[in-house]
Every structure is written in structure tokens, then in C-alpha cells.
Amino acid sequence: MAEVLRISTNNLKHVVDLTDRVEMVIRPAKMQEGLCSLFVTLRQPH
């Protein structure tokens, strides 16, 4: 199962709490245990 979360920030270095967004993605799976991996990529503004 792969999902894409797109997050935009105003600064290159910015801390964003993704807990609620990630939980909304994994909750429907109704898993009791597991591993969630996040891959972060930087997209340079044009």
C-alpha cells in the first residue's frame, strides 16, 4: 500500500508534525502492529 502526502512549507528547514495525516492513511488498515516508512524529498522552487 503506497500513499502520497504532499506537504508545502515556506522554508527549506521546517519541522512539520505529520502524525494526524499519517494516522488517517494507516487507520483504515486496522492493523495492531506494523511499520510505517516515510520518504522525504525536497522539491526546489522554480
SS (H, E, C) the chain: CCCCCCCCCCCCCCCCCCHHHHHHHHHHHCCCCCCCCCCCCCCCCC
The pLDDT tens digits of the residues spanning 1-46 come to: 688 888 888 887 888 999 999 889 888 888 888 888 888 887 766 6
Question: What is the model's pLDDT at position 45?
Answer: 64
Q: What is the reported pTM? A: 0.63
